[in-house]
Amino acid sequence: MFPALETELKQETLPDPYEDFMYRHLRYYGYFKATQGFTGSNPGRGHGTAHQATLRRRPTCHNQKDPQLKYTRPTCLSSTVRRQIEAVSRGSLLLSSPLLKSRQLLHNDFGEVNPRLREPRDLFAFLPSSGPLQAPRWPIECEVIKENIHHIEWIPPQPEYFYQPTGNEKVPEIVGEEEGTVVYQLDSVPTEGSYFTSSRVGGKRGIIKDLAVTLQGPEDNALLFESRFESGNLQKAVRVDTYEYELTLRTDLYTNKYTQWFYFRVQNTRKDATYRFTIVNLLKPKSLYTLGMKPLMYSQLDADTHNIGWRREGSEIKYCKSSTGDGQQPFYCLTWTIQFPHDQDTCFFAHFYPYTYTDLQCYLLSVANNPVQAQFCKLRTLCRSLAGNIVYLLTITNPSRTPQEAAAKKAVVLSARVHPGESNGSWIMKGFLDFILSDSPDAQLLRNIFVFKVVPMLNPDGVIVGNSRCSLAGRDLNRHYKTILKDSFPCIWYTRNMIKRLLEEREVLLYCDFHGHSRKNNIFLYGCNNNDRKYWLHERVFPLMLSKNAPDKFSFHSCNFKVQRCKEGTGRVVMWRMGILNSYTMESTFGGSTLGNKRDTHFTTEDLKSLGHQVCDTLLDFCDPDRAKFMQCLEELKELLQQEIHKKFNELGQDMELEGNWSDISLSDIESSTSGSDSSLSDGLPAHLLNIARELNKKKRLYKKKKKKPLQTRKQRNEQYQKNSLMREFKLTDVAERAGFASTLQKPHAFSRNSKNTSSSMVRNEKPRLNEREKPGFTASCSAKRSTNRSQEPARDMKPSWSRNRYPVAKRGRATLTVYPSLHVYTYP
């Protein structure tokens, strides 16, 4: 009847580029494997229709635990689905047309094609509304047990105080496996010299061996160790006595260093015995364990029967230099004793409260399934990690009524877990998200005036495998934010690129990356000194405000704002150089507080989550249209800086008087380095990435060379020289006419009037170099009446001196926000 159309049907149908991309992408990440049963427009490629692809994602059996199943067409289908497949396989008139650009069409109950596109499919669903979460992907060298490890959240009813040394703590003598018995040891651990190649769900293929020692009977009291679960870290356990064990931690994968994070399980416990555990291969010479920090223990029986979770336990705690080493660097050991609460219990030990990739996915699933929160919180995939795990990006803001209102919003960027062993960053992030996603009036106001970009877990691969510091590239990601290797460091490359695009759209008011610290107590910030006179000291206002809002947890005295060359690759410095004035690294201790009511107590997860709330609280204070709080903090910072300058010169034995231009002093001269931070120097790129980096740099240079202007002729060069000479003459004349201004510019901006003991460098109008090892004594007074003793911490139990009723008009409703159309005028005085 329609010969033209019949001829068209006989023609070979064109491949759909969208489907071709989808199949390649899904096959790459292991969602299905092509089989011979595939049919469709291009049989040679094994491609079927999009609808068939969706069906093939279902397994042929109901055993969801088998990761090696191939996805094929199911045999039991409903009549409706069968009719749709038959209609497609017959080669529908519309679907067979080579002019058709998409096959994503809807079918009715009779198998007929409707002339409209289907809704976007959930091929790349970030979190399914029902069913299991996406399982973590592991390197193929890692063995992973099939058990699901889950812990309850619990707040201790009483404060957990630091351990007080008695002086009788035992210094352990390392015996080793030569004289002891190995009761647990990982078979193959990829170290330096090897590198990541591929990953899969479940890790290593094959049967999972039982690495723990085999019990000889019910009287055998040997402990059974295990760490092959998410975020676990223990490489070897050696039994050196009946109740004494030496433990070796696994280094970060594909490296030979970074041992700090530990998290493992023991079974077959005895209640009345005193056990001793000694970790023998720690690398840091200083630790909070020397200041009273205790390890964390979790009893499964207590959790099941009494709803008790993680708690601080341990006695005879000692951190000291070990008698062993690898010949290149000394080892340090941590030893403690413990009495288990139950017989035949399953217990866990950890360096800090674990927060795994699965924990994050469960939390984000609850957000995605909340219809109210889904209106202002959009969950997207920022990128895929090296192992193929999703790096999530949350965009949180209330819908704007007009494009002008949307464009006027400033942005705030927050991230966490670039260092996987610093799980305290995830707990602060969880507290922030709990608050900003709530129906609190302050949270609604923040969502009205800001766009929040949140990356809750920057290094999911490292978190999954239990690394302390590195990604699967074997490098510290927080030293490579300037990288050009997108494929090797995707998480930070895409984060930097996202922020770069964000800066083109709107002003980014604040960037903060949440970390953990193993050598100092309390919580504090590292920032970047600003050299712009217009915003002098402004980068210190937010930390000072936060210390006022959280006086028992946050220490302004511990904050530091010096930018060192070795930190140029950190997120804090890179974002600051991109134009974000308030760019910070938040360091939260693994230990506890030395301030206020919480003095000498360990932090709990609730303490860290409450700090996330107080970050939101401080944001409102920082951007309050009433500038009284901002100006109060700025004046206080100036006074603190003056006192610190006097203190420094008194220590140097110089009697200096400050005149009007004292603020011209470089802040770097009076601030010590952040050498006490939990930092690591960059190791450079791994060997297998050096050639890639050289090739990329070579292409970059060639590209710049092509963009250079063509060579000038001799006539053009002469004309340009004459023009430059005239410009220089004009500038010199102009400067001469304003000689007074020029003299002020040439005035040395070092400290003013010299005393008799002034050094020769001051006579030459050079700025004095102060002792960089001294720590600035910046303090934060928490009341309008400032303390006379500026060298101490903020007074304990002090509350913020300012009024807590912010935005009294704006809180009544969103419509009143038009009173403050833009915050650009009010952010800085």
Instruction: Quick: pLDDT tens for 489-534.
Output: 999 999 999 999 999 999 999 999 999 999 999 999 999 998 887 8
Mean pLDDT of the chain: 77
Within 13 A of 377's CA, how many CA atoms are on the CB side? Answer: 26
Who's near 178: CB < 8 A, 6+ residues apart? none
State residue 238's pLDDT score: 96
- Find the range with the poorest average confidence among 486-490, 705-709, 821-825: 821-825
**Is residue 76 a contact partner of residue 68, using CB atoms and an 8 Å limit?**
no
* pLDDT for the residue numbered 647: 78
Which range among 249-263, 473-487, 761-775 shows the weakest confidence by mean pLDDT? 761-775
* Euclidean distance between CA atoms 321 and 280, whole angstroms: 9
Distance CA 682, CA 495 (A): 19
237 versus 193: the higher-pLDDT residue is 237
| 723: pLDDT strictly greater than 50 | yes
pLDDT band at 690 (very low <50, low <70, confident <90, very high): low
- Confidence label for 649 from pLDDT (cuts 50, 70 and 90): confident
Q: What is the pLDDT of residue 291?
A: 95
* pLDDT surpassing 60 at residue 754: no
> Residue 697 CB: number of other CB atoms within 10 A?
11
| pLDDT band (50, 70, 90) for residue 653 | low
pLDDT at 701 over 80: no
Q: What pLDDT does residue 738 have? A: 45
Classify residue 561 by burial, with Cβ atoms within 10 Å: 0-12, 13-18, 19+: buried
- pLDDT score recorded for residue 69: 39
Q: Render pLDDT for 324-345 as a digit per residue (tens, 0 to 9).
A: 766 678 899 999 999 999 999 9
Residue 487 has pLDDT above 70, yes or no: yes
CA distance 645 to 658: 9
Q: What is the pLDDT of residues 224-271, one digit of tens each?
A: 999 999 999 999 999 999 999 999 999 999 998 899 999 999 999 999
Per-residue pLDDT at 362: 95
Query: Span 147-171, mean pLDDT?
Result: 94
The shares of helix, strand and coil residues in the chain, as percent rounded to the nearest 5, are 30, 15, 50
When comparing pLDDT for 618 and 733, which is higher?
618
pLDDT over threshold 80, residue 364: yes
* Residue 802 confidence (pLDDT) above 60: no
Q: Is the pLDDT of residue 785 over 50?
A: no
Determine the angle formed by the axes of helices 357-368 and 424-436, rounding to 10 degrees: 10
User: Quick check: helix, strand or coil at residue 63?
Assistant: coil
Q: What is the pLDDT of residues 288-325, one digit of tens each?
A: 999 999 999 999 999 999 999 999 999 999 999 987 76
pLDDT at 73: 39
Q: Is the pLDDT of residue 477 over 70?
A: yes
pLDDT of residue 648: 74
Rounded to whole angstroms, the Cα distance separating 43 from 37 reads 10
Per-residue pLDDT, 750: 36
774 is catalytic: no
Residue whose C-alpha is closest to residue 776's, from 589, 529, 538, 545: 529
CB 757 within 8 A of CB 653: yes
pLDDT recorded at residue 687: 57
Q: Please, which pLDDT band fits residue 711 given cuts at 50, 70 and 90?
A: low
Distance CA 159, CA 311 (A): 11
Min mean pLDDT across 82-86, 295-299, 690-694 is at 82-86
Number of helices and strands (H, E) in the chain?
A: 19, 24
Catalytic residue of the set 230, 244, 246, 587: 587
pLDDT at residue 797 above 80?
no
Q: DSSP secondary structure string, 345-368?
A: --EEEESS----HHHHHHHHHHHH
- More confident call, 22 vs 108: 22
Q: Whole-model pTM above 0.75? A: no
More confident residue, 694 or 309: 309
- Of 305, 434, 301, 287, the closest CA to residue 351 belongs to 287
> How far is it, in rounded angstroms, from Cα 724 to Cα 730?
10
Reading the block at residue 10, the tokens are 């006989």
Q: What would the mean pLDDT of 403-428 be, rounded to a whole number?
A: 96
Average of per-residue pLDDT across 654-677: 54
Paired sense of beta strands 582-589 and 508-517, if any: parallel
What is the reported pLDDT for 518? 93
**What pLDDT was estimated at residue 152?**
96
* Residues 723, 727, 733, 735, Cα dihedral to 10°: -170
Q: Which amino acid is at 768?
A: P
Structure tokens that stand for 172 in this block = 């352990």
**pLDDT value at 541 more than 90:** yes
User: Given this model, what pLDDT does residue 693 score?
Assistant: 63
Contact 492/385 with Cβ under 8 angstroms?
A: no
